[in-house]
């Protein structure tokens, strides 16, 4: 009998690689026993990433969701694991150390066994505290390598990180191939090196199927000694998600590995339940293009989940850019032309920005800079003249050390703008905050919860927690579903705002929530009636799928009408601001 390979079902990631939301608590409780009956999973990814934010947006208690979701797996002897972003915890921006520390205590108490911790920059200093806090809380620490492909990201590069996190006390290593661009043979060599140097370390492989490498990568890492492989299941497997457990099991079984059998009756029931959840409401948030694989992702290295966001971005600026080109006497671009230009721009600027692995949130930063560069170039302006503050934090070293070297022109722009580079420990930039949140909860008469779990949730997701407590979140979600169901029966982009040919409209390129300013973006100003707007100026951010994309004006003008308030839901084609 060959080496045993165990499977982990990434049920949370399946949904959030496809769309915006995950199933509600009642749906998770319904499918959990069926997943157990499948009999082929040793581990289940139960929470982390944006999981708790989703519950808050539903108006559900996220702590109850984690406890209810992990409980049946705990009872069945199946390990549970969460995903967390090191310095960013389980949100998109940095977290104070005391809040990070509390997270592991809470998650362990809620039934989560393994903390899968990754730093989007592979900065081992950001992982050190994750490992320390996880082990202090009694969790298994799974230190994670953010896998990408470049001349910098070699086996030796990754082994240097492995050596450091093992020295910090990590119990396991995960290869997080978030864009599926890791080359199979190289990944096999990396697993082999880890096993030879640290034979006691458990290794788990996580690969998205987007560009088509991951099934081959799974076979190579299995041959090299991997212990666990992450898989998905229909109707969400493949596309921009993960390979299906049936295919992976059959492939490894044929190769002589000892793999578990699949209870196909239970598989079909779990498949049907997931489809029921899609038909209920989750399908409204799944972009059909996420069902497809694309070799275009091989060169750009962008994660599959970014494709839907990018296509929406391109649709939003396509017409305006072509108007600019036509005014210049140049040929208009098709959407495919523009997509290729954007991919080429990502390929060009990625090394200039220090080769950050393109994983949340750094994939968003690089994509946004690339898109703005394409727009600026067409308009005859300098590239890199528009960079948001979060992207600057990445460039300046506040989020961690970049793997590569910044291009000199980026350094020059930073110096011209009076920005300071930082080479200290990133966590030191973010002082403790738990006392502030605890004091406010006492003043509000809010319970801090079992094991301080409510305190943790408030401190981790302050804005969303306030909306949850007030009831605003649940009302918004119910209104959102109602609106989507109504809009499914009419053509997209009909916002109800009557067009005025004498004025210029700035419309939303896709469905999401509008923010004119956010508490973690600095130097933000709301758009006001009568304000003067210049072409290329940021109007707002649209939050969709837990990415925040800038909406910029394609025109010069004065703000004549504002159709949405801060925090409102917008549909694709809705007019946000009208200029005169």
- The CATH class of the 291-429 domain is mainly alpha
Measured at the alpha carbon of residue 195, what is the angle toward residues 82 and 245, in degrees to the nearest 5? 50
Alpha helices in 353-433, H assignment, sequence order: 362-378, 389-396, 408-416
> How many other CB atoms sit within 10 Å of the CB of residue 348?
12
Q: Which residues of 518-536 are buried (b: 16+ CB within 10 A; e: fewer)?
A: beeeeebeebeeeeebeeb
For residues 437 and 68, the answer to whether their CB atoms sit within 8 Å is no
Question: Which residues, in sequence order, are CB contacts of 563 under 8 Å at separation 6+?
Answer: 495, 497, 574, 575, 576, 577, 578
Domain 504-579 class, CATH top level: mainly beta
Q: Which pLDDT score is estimated for 60? A: 93
Whether 539 contacts 514, CB under 8 Å: no
pLDDT at 570: 83
DSSP 10: -
Judge contact between 63 and 272, C-beta under 8 A.
no
Summary count for the chain: helices (H), strands (E): 21, 16
Please give the model's pTM, rounded to 2 decimal places: 0.82
Strand arrangement, sheet containing 547-552: 547-552, 538-544, 512-515, 569-570
Q: Are 252 and 219 in contact (CB under 8 A)?
A: yes
Domain ranges of the chain: 5-14+18-81+253-290, 291-429, 434-487, 504-579
Burial class (CB in 10 A: 0-12, 13-18, 19+), 264: exposed
Altogether, the residues listed in the chain come to a count of: 580
Local structure of 70: helix, strand or coil: helix
For residue 524, the model assigns a pLDDT of 47
Helical H runs in 225-304?
A: 245-254, 264-280, 297-300
Distance (Å, whole) CA 168 – CA 568: 44
> Is beta strand 6-9 parallel, antiparallel or unpaired with respect to 41-48?
parallel
Nearest Cα to Cα of residue 87 among 112, 41, 116, 119: 119
**Cβ atoms of residues 536 and 549 within 8 Å:** no
Cα distance between residue 360 and residue 351, in whole Å: 18
Distance between alpha carbon 122 and the CA centroid of its chain, in Å? 16
- Report the alpha-carbon angle 42-43-47, nearest 5: 165
Residues of the chain with pLDDT under 50: 491-494, 519-524
Dihedral sign, Cα of residue 391, residue 392, residue 394, residue 399? negative
């Amino acid at each position: 009998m060959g080496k045993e390979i165990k499977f982990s079902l990434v049920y949370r990631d399946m949904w959030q690689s496809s769309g915006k939301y995950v199933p509600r608590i009642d749906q998770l409780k319904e499918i959990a026993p069926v997943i157990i009956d499948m009999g082929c999973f040793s581990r289940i990814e139960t929470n982390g990433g944006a999981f708790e934010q989703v519950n808050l947006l539903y108006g559900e208690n996220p702590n109850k969701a984690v406890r209810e979701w992990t409980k049946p797996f705990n009872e069945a002897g199946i390990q549970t694991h969460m995903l967390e972003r090191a310095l960013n915890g389980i949100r998109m921006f940095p977290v104070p150390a005391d809040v990070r520390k509390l997270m592991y205590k809470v998650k362990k108490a809620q039934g989560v066994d393994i903390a899968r911790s990754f730093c989007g920059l592979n900065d081992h200093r950001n992982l050190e505290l994750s490992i320390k806090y996880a082990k202090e809380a009694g969790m298994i620490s799974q230190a994670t390598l953010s896998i990408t492909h470049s001349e910098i990201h070699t086996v030796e590069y990754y082994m240097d990180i492995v050596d450091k996190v093992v020295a910090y006390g990590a119990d396991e290593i995960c290869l997080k191939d978030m864009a599926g661009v890791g080359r199979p043979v190289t990944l096999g060599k990396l697993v082999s090196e880890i096993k030879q140097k640290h034979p006691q370390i458990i290794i788990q492989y996580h690969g998205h199927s987007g560009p088509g490498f991951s099934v081959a990568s799974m076979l190579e890492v299995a041959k090299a000694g991997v212990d666990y492989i992450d898989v998905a299941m229909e109707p969400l497997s493949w596309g921009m998600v993960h390979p299906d457990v049936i295919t992976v099991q059959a492939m490894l079984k044929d190769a002589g590995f000892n793999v578990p059998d699949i209870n196909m009756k239970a598989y079909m029931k779990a498949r049907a339940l997931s489809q029921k959840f899609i038909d209920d409401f989750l399908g409204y948030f799944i972009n059909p293009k996420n069902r497809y694989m694309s070799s275009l992702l091989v060169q750009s290295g962008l994660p599959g989940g970014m494709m839907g966001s990018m296509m929406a971005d391109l649709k939003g600026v396509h017409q305006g850019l072509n108007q600019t080109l036509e005014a210049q006497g140049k040929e208009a671009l098709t959407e495919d032309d523009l997509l290729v230009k954007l991919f080429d721009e990502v390929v060009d600027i990625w090394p200039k920005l220090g080769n950050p692995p393109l994983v949340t949130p750094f994939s968003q930063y690089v994509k946004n800079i690339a898109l703005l560069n394409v727009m600026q170039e067409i308009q005859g302006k300098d590239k890199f003249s528009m960079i948001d503050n979060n992207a600057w934090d990445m460039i300046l070293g506040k989020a961690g050390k970049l793997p590569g070297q910044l291009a000199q022109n980026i350094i020059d722009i930073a110096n011209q703008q009076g920005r300071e580079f930082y080479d200290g420990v990133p966590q030191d930039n973010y002082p403790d905050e738990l006392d502030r949140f605890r004091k406010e909860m006492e003043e509000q008469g809010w319970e801090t919860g079992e094991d301080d779990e409510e305190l943790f949730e408030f401190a981790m997701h302050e804005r969303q927690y306030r909306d949850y407590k007030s009831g605003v979140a649940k009302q918004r979600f119910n209104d959102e579903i109602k609106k989507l169901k109504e809009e499914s029966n009419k053509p997209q982009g009909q916002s109800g705002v009557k067009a005025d040919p004498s004025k210029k409209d700035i419309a939303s390129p896709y469905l999401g929530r509008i923010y004119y300013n956010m508490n973690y973006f600095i130097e933000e100003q709301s758009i006001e009636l009568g304000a003067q707007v210049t072409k290329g100026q940021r109007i707002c951010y649209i939050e969709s799928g837990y990415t925040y994309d800038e909406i910029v004006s394609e025109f010069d003008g004065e703000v004549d009408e504002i159709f949405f308030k801060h925090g409102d839901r917008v549909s694709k084609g809705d007019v946000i601001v009208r200029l005169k």
